[in-house]
């Protein structure tokens, strides 16, 4: 809750790498999750698409529950579904740690944030490339995560949208001004050659799907990403 949040200096915030299983081999999902954790992942990013809010269809609470025993790290559920409230208790019961949603997909954003918290999970709010940050005006203190989309949601393997960097800077400024311990995550088109720019713009949590699962050596890719953001 807002009153329990602590002030956090940006320099003291650890960088987290969050592989998106959207680009994993779904026929071997348990192995893929174990491999990417052994390779040094900090979170598992779990993309939920409904073929309604976004034009693609992926996985739901059953798959979250199936991978939970294989995850020693938090599961970072990214809901790209509309409506959102009905499915939140199911993801909480399936072992989700963080649950993020798009404000356009909820009729009552404040209520959805509270619902996620009531079910014992950490709420996050997600901003599409053209969505302004105004939704944070009266919600930031209740959030644990702000997720800035650097592609339009729906598919892995898309190209990073450059205006995201300016938006990350704006979001970081808001978080600093509020003095809240809120993570700032970036999602879409993150590779070893642009992760540094995202970190310099203020991101501390980095989703990467195709860059990690499309590489031969997950550990090497994650190590290279960490080297880039440590510079
Ligand atoms: C897109 C998803 C992303 C996606 C990222 O809608 O939210 O998490 O998996 O994939 P890459 O890293 O390949 O852009
Ligand atoms: Zn995502």
Nearest CA to ligand 1 atom 6: 153
Residues with Cβ within 8 Å of residue 126, at least 6 apart in sequence: 78, 100, 101, 102, 103, 147, 148, 149, 153, 187
Q: pLDDT at position 163, please?
A: 97
Q: What is the mean pLDDT of residues 169-188?
A: 97
Strands 98-101 and 122-127, sheet pairing: parallel
Any idea which ligand is nearest the CA of 49?
1
CA torsion sign, 3 to 4 to 9 to 14? negative
Contacts 24+ apart (CB under 8 A), 11-14: 13/183, 13/204, 14/42, 14/204
Kindly state the DSSP code that residue 170 receives in the 8-state scheme.
H
Q: What is the pTM of this model?
A: 0.95
Distance from Cα 47 to the centre of ligand 2, integer Å: 5
Q: Clarify whether 31 is annotated catalytic.
A: no
- Averaged pLDDT score across all residues of the chain: 95
Task: Give the tens place of pLDDT for each residue, 132-158.
Answer: 999 999 999 999 999 999 999 999 999
Number of H helices, E strands in the chain: 8, 8
pLDDT at 75 over 60: yes
pLDDT at 50 over 80: yes
Task: Give the tens place of pLDDT for each residue, 28-46.
Answer: 999 999 999 999 999 999 9
Among the listed residues 47, 50, 144, 204, the single catalytic one is: 47
Q: In angstroms, rounded to a whole number, what is the distance separating the alpha carbons of residues 146 and 173?
A: 12
Residues with Cβ within 8 Å of residue 133, at least 6 apart in sequence: 127, 167, 170, 171, 174
Q: Clarify whether 90 is annotated catalytic.
A: no
Q: In angstroms, rounded to a whole number, what is the distance separating the alpha carbons of residues 164 and 183?
A: 16
Where is pLDDT greater, at 42 or 13? Answer: 42
> Ligand 2 being an ion, which residues bring their Cβ within 5 A of it?
47, 78, 187
Confidence bin at 13 (pLDDT 50/70/90): confident
Among the listed residues 42, 76, 144, 187, the single catalytic one is: 187
pLDDT > 70 in the chain, percent = 94
């Amino acid at each position: 809750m807002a009153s329990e949040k602590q002030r956090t200096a940006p320099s003291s915030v650890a960088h987290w790498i969050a592989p998106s299983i959207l680009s994993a081999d779904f026929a071997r999902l348990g192995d893929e999750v174990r491999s990417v954790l052994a390779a040094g992942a900090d979170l598992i990013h779990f993309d939920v698409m409904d073929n309604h809010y976004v034009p693609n269809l992926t996985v739901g609470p059953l798959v979250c529950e199936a991978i939970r025993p294989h995850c020693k790290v938090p599961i970072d559920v990214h809901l790209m579904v509309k409506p959102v409230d009905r499915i939140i208790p199911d993801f909480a019961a399936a072992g989700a740690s963080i649950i993020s949603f798009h404000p356009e997909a909820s009729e009552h954003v404040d209520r959805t944030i509270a619902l996620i918290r009531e079910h014992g999970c950490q709420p996050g709010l997600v901003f599409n490339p053209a969505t302004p940050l105004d939704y944070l005006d009266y919600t930031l203190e209740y959030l644990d995560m702000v997720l800035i989309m650097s592609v339009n949601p729906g598919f892995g393997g898309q190209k990073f949208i450059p205006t995201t960097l300016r938006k990350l800077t704006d979001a970081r400024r808001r978080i600093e001004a509020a003095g809240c311990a809120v993570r700032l995550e970036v999602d879409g088109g993150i590779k070893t050659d642009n992760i540094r720019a995202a970190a310099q713009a203020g991101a501390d949590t980095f989703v990467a799907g195709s860059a990690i699962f499309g590489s031969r050596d997950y550990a090497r890719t994650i190590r290279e990403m960490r080297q880039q953001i440590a510079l």
